[in-house]
Amino acid sequence: MLKKEYKYFLFDLDRTIWDFDTNACNNIYSLLDIYSLQHLDKEAFYKTYDSVNHKLWALYEQGELPKAVLRSERFYQTLLLFGIDNRELSQKMGEEYLERMPYQKALMPYALEVLQELKKRGYTLALISNGFKEVQYKKLICCGIDSFFDAVLISEEQGVHKPSPIIFKRALKAINGTKSEALMVGDDFANDIEGAMIFGIDQFFYNYRSIPCDGGPTYDSSDLRDLLKVSPQR
């Protein structure tokens, strides 16, 4: 697997280290308890929410739905499918969901072990995440993984997001890294992988969903532990 030796690892956060989908699911399960909706089928409720959210998110991305509306509407429409027509409850659940999200602690398989091992082996790690600073820093701290990173770049704070080469360049500068010795690790082909390609560094596509991809990344793997094969003991 090893094509060359790296010294610097740039990581994405959501769905690469932080298990967004498991955390969203656990969060929804807690909300059902908090709002006395235990009689509903939890799994069915989450599946319905996920599909409603997908549809509404697409509208939001097309500029057809304001973010504030999206936040409660996804709960309103889900509850409606379970026979509950309640705007006030949807609003409360929408707010509570966002508040609780950064405190969820599930990580992707082997993420913690891999980060620990890379640090132990003496590598320099940076994090580049598209998201809101209030949310993303909380996630890192709550999961106890903030200290692994020598630099953290959050798009909101940076005023620029992946795949822009500007944010990759800043990350590398923050850790005094060089392009030829850096590897970007991420699950999002357009933002993480193509972004890193354009910037000119090698890429590790964490392809846990086994998405067929053309224009080959440097590495394509569904197991984060493969990173330890491109980072020999130093």
Residues at the interface with Mg ion (CB under 5 A): 12, 14-16, 187-188
Comparing every residue's Cβ against Mg ion, the nearest one is: 15
Any idea what DSSP says for residue 18?
A: B
- Minimum CB distance to Mg ion smaller for 14 or for 220: 14
- CA 183 from chain center: how many Å? 18
- Determine the Cα–Cα distance for residues 70 and 57; give it in Å rounded to an integer: 7
The tokens of 96 are what? 């509570």
**DSSP class per residue in 32-94:** HHHTT-TTS-HHHHHHHHHHHHHHHHHHHHTTSS-HHHHHHHHHHHHHHHTT---HHHHHHHH
Closest distance of CB 126 from Mg ion, Å:
15
- Minimum CB distance to Mg ion smaller for 6 or for 206: 206
Closest distance of CB 7 from Mg ion, Å:
23
- Minimum CB distance to Mg ion smaller for 12 or for 226: 12
Closest distance of CB 20 from Mg ion, Å:
7
- Minimum CB distance to Mg ion smaller for 16 or for 136: 16
Indicate the helix (H) or strand (E) that contains 183: strand 182-186
Nearest in space to 92 (alpha carbons), one of 77, 107, 75, 104: 75
Strand partners, 124: 8
- Minimum CB distance to Mg ion smaller for 131 or for 165: 131
Contacts of 85 (CB under 8 A, 6+ apart): 79
Closest distance of CB 70 from Mg ion, Å:
20
